[in-house]
Structures are given as C-alpha cells and as structure tokens.
Structure 1
Amino acid sequence: MAERSQTAAAPRRSRYALRALALGYVAILVALPVAVVLWRAFDEGVGQFCAAISSEQAVQAFRLTGLVAGVAVVINVLFGVGVALLLTRYRFAGKRLLNVVIDLPISVSPIVVGLALVLVYGPRNGWLGRPLADSGIEVIYAVPGMILATVFVSLPLVLREIVPVLQDEGMDAEHAARVLGASAVQRFVRITLPTIRWALAYGIVLSLARSIGEFGAVQVVSGNVSGAGQTQTATLLVNERVQQLVPGAYQVSVVLIAVAVVAIVAVSLLRPKELP
C-alpha cells in the first residue's frame, strides 16, 4: 500500500511543480509588468488617467491607431482566408516556398521591415516611391505606408489559425456539396466559413492585438508627426512621452492593453465550451 501511495504521489507532485513553474513564468513575464503599468497609470488618480487619455494628442493617436489596425485586420482576413484555401485545397508549383515566405514576417525584425518599405516606396530614392510621388500618391511618411508596415508584421496570424482547421476537416463535405450542385460561394458560406469561424475569430483577435501594438516598422515609415495630418499612433505617442518624460505614457498603454484583453476575453466567452 505504501509503495502504491508513493507511486501515485509522484505524478501529482510533478503536476503541481509544472503548474507552479508555469504560473511563476507567466507572473514574472506578463502579470508583474502589466500590474506595474496599471499601478503607475492610476497612481495619480482616476481624474489624471481620464485627462491623459482624452487629450487632443491622445485622441488623435487612438483614431489613427484604430484606422491603421482596422484596415490591416481586414486585409489580413482577406489574405489569410484566401491563401489558407489555396494551401489546403490546391496543389501547385512553389507551394512549399509560399508556405515558407508567409512566415517571413515572424522572423524578420520590424525595423528591417520598415527600412525595406522605405527603400521600395521612399519618395526620393524608392524603386516605386518616386513614380508614386510624381503621381501625387504618398506612401512613406503617410498613412498608406503605416498600413503596409502593419499588414506585413501581422500577415501570418490569421492564416496560421485557419490552415490547421482546414487540414483537419478535409474536403469530403465540400466534394459532396459540389456533387450536389453547390456553387463555390455556397460551399464557402455553408461549409467552409462555419468550419473556420472560431479559428478566424482568434486570428482576427491576434491580428488586431499585433496591429495596435506595432512600433518598430511603423516608427520607420511614419515620421511620427503629431497634430493635423498626423502620423503618430498610440504606441509612438507612448514612446515620445517616455523619452520626453511627459506624463501620460502609462495611461495610453493601459488603453492599448485593455483593448487586446477585452477582445481575447470576448472570444473566449463566446466560444462554445465543447470546442477544444
């Protein structure tokens, strides 16, 4: 009996040790820094917090962040769904290469991404920037360049959530619908979309969180101009206030954190419990 008790206790101790390790890891790297930011944001009271996030500069930065992130998420959804169907439903030359290139934004530094965009779309020496500038189209140091940079760094997030679901689901249901005469649009709306809806939702949340928090690439291509015709997002505003030792950086950071947390919690609550 004693040997059995010791044998049963060993896995239990291992489980508790792994839990403690995981909780400690999350607490040190995530919970503690976020708690410090929250404390500093409300250290001077709720009134100061509201004043910081409702200032004209902060409101303009939030609006631009919402615009850039919203457009980037829409582009990533269209690209992610389309390329996920391409990779899982068709065979073509260069499929493996495309699969590798799609993950490139994850491994490349955002600063390098911004520099590459400047080299291509810069108004003076860019390969495509000078013809676009002559046509009156501004890319770099303008909103289009910021959207391009944000799309690039968040490109794989929607796609990588959808591909495994489509691979696990297979094509039997779609083949059956095709035999019964369903069009491509009908098959997508009635079969594919319900299959990937939760993976798509998580991909949208990840893409949104990545987009509103992007700093490096956007900093390079934006010019970080505040005021009328501004190119200053919320993350750039936080950086500016930290460097200039101006109050308000923590308060703006809390808003960005809150948006990401609310989106993740909302998807988790709406997701059916029977799904893994």
Structure 2
Amino acid sequence: MVESTTPVRWLLRLLAIGYVFMLVAWPVGLLVQHTFADGLTTLTATLTDPGVVGALRLTALVTFWAVLINLVFGVTISMLLVRYEFPGKRLLSALIDVPLSVSPVVVGLALLLAYNGRDGWFGPTLEAHGIRLVFDLPAMVMATCFVALPLVIREVVPVLTEIGDDQEQAARSLGASAPQTFWRITLPSIRWAVVYGVVLSLARAVGEFGAVKIVSGNFTGRTQTATLVVEQQYQNFQQDAAYATSFLLILVSVACLVVVALLRPGRH
C-alpha cells in the first residue's frame, strides 16, 4: 500500500513546490536579479535618493503606528471574543474578517468619503477643530490599520481558546488583579502568537498600496510611501530604481519572518 502511494505523494510534492516556485520564488528571484544586475550601483543610488529615503521613513512611521495600534486592539478584541459572551459576538467576529475580503482601494475610498474635509461625514467637523485626517498621516495610519486588522486577532484567538482560562481563574482566586493576571499568566501564554501576528501585520503594513494611495493623495515628498514610489518610478521608466525599492521592501518583510522562524518554538 505504501509503495503504491509513494509516486502519488512525490507528484503532489512536486506540484506544490512547482506552484510556489512559479508564483513566488521565480518572480522574486527575477526582481533580485534585476536589482543587482549592475552590482550594488543601483541599490546604492536608490538608498541615496532623497525621495526614496523620505518615502522609506514615512513608510516606517506609518507601519510603526499601525502595528502598535493593531497590537493593542488586536489583543483586546481577542480577549473579548474568547473570554466573554455578549450580544453581537458573531457579528464582531465576522466584521474582523472584512479587511480580508474587501479590496484595499474600496477601503481607501470609504475612508475618504467618511473623513474628507469638504464633504465627508466627519471631515468638516474635525477640520473645524484643526484636525486633518485625509491626505495626511492619520488617514494613512487608519487605512493601514484597517487592512492589517485581522492578522493579530486570528493568530491570538486560537491560542487563547487552546490554553483555556484555568490558570487565569486560579490566579484570580489567589487574589491577583486583572492586570496582574494578564501580564503574568495570559500574555506569557500567547506571546508567540502575538509576536507572529505583529510580524504579519508589519509585513502587510509595509507593502500596503491601494488604500494608502487613495487617502494620502500621493504627494511627492510629503505623503508618498515606498510602495507609491515604486509605482511612480516604474511609470517614469525608472525600472532599475523601482526594482531596488521593491527589493528593500521585500527584504524587510522576509527578514522579520526569518527572525521569528528562528526564534519561535515549534508551537505557540
């Protein structure tokens, strides 16, 4: 029986490897090849370009705030979904998955309609109080938070469900407060789920394009992130610079995943 299924197993493995190679490894490999076609010349020129450097800094700033916000709310919502029963729980769980099924461009347009200073629902009121969201950093952070919202939650919820609440109840019965129980019992149990969710959020935030383009206005030197720079460079026939900038974005995401894979134990 084993011998008869061995060829099938090998065929399935080859199909899986071939699929991943054609879809991921080969295109990324070609991007790296074009980036270093002239050695380090293209990459060095890109890293010294003020426009690219500014875009990378803005991308890092947007990513930092988006990941931090999603970390806080992601863990909070996860605790709410797993540890408590309340009306609308299933609806909340379904809404969390909306960013995975809605195009980022639609997200950006929705935020624009809601917070635009001229005819948005909340924009005129906010701008009357000196608060500007659209075409500025706050809207870019909001759009990035939206598209990366489910990543921390969907990593933490299964782990919280698996570990149960026995240890938490024991800690509370011994007089531990809610914050003490969370920091000493709950968080250590879910730390790797949190770390991996944060890394996935970081990778998603760094590469966000559609939603950010809509709400940022794509103003060069002010609201232009690295992904928007890639588009501009490619459209301006600066393909080498576009390849190099894309390589830097890929490098950040892959480096985070590799570090977590090396540090993370076999299970959460």
TM-score by length of 2: 0.97
Q: CA deviation at 1:19?
A: 1.2
CA offsets per residue over residues 85-116 of structure 1, 9 Å max, x none? 00000010110110111111111111110000
Aligned to 2:227: 235
Q: CA deviation at 1:8?
A: 2.2
Of 152, 155, 160, 1:166 maps to 160
- The answer on 1:252 being equivalent to 2:250 is no
State the secondary structure of the residue aligned to 2:120. coil
Instruction: Quote the Cα distance in structure 2 between the aligned partners of 1:50 and 1:138.
Output: 36
Which aligned pairs between 1:112-127 and structure 2 lie closer than 5 A? 112-127=106-121
Which aligned pairs between 1:1-276 and structure 2 lie closer than 5 A? 7-227=1-221, 230-246=222-238, 247-273=240-266, 275=267
Q: CA deviation at 1:188?
A: 0.7
Instruction: Quote the Cα distance in structure 2 between the aligned partners of 1:161 and 1:99.
Output: 13
1:53–1:248 CA contact under 8 A, matched in 2? no
State the secondary structure of the residue aligned to 1:155. helix
Instruction: Quote the Cα distance in structure 2 between the aligned partners of 1:49 and 1:219.
Output: 25
CA offsets per residue over residues 171-197 of structure 1, 9 Å max, x none? 111111111111111111111111111
Counterpart AA for 1:232: Q
TM-score by length of 1: 0.95
Q: CA deviation at 1:17?
A: 1.4
Q: How many residues align?
A: 267
Computed over aligned residues only, the root mean square deviation of the Cα atoms, in angstroms, reads 1.0
Instruction: Quote the Cα distance in structure 1 between the aligned partners of 2:16 and 2:74.
Output: 31
Instruction: Quote the Cα distance in structure 2 between the aligned partners of 1:89 and 1:182.
Output: 17
Instruction: Quote the Cα distance in structure 2 between the aligned partners of 1:156 and 1:150.
Output: 12
Identical-residue share of aligned pairs (%): 52
Counterpart AA for 1:248: A
Q: CA deviation at 1:269?
A: 0.4
Instruction: Quote the Cα distance in structure 1 between the aligned partners of 2:154 and 2:254.
Output: 21
1:114–1:149 CA contact under 8 A, matched in 2? yes
Q: CA deviation at 1:49?
A: 1.3
Aligned to 1:3: none
| Runs of 4+ in structure 1 over 2 Å off | none
Counterpart AA for 1:264: L
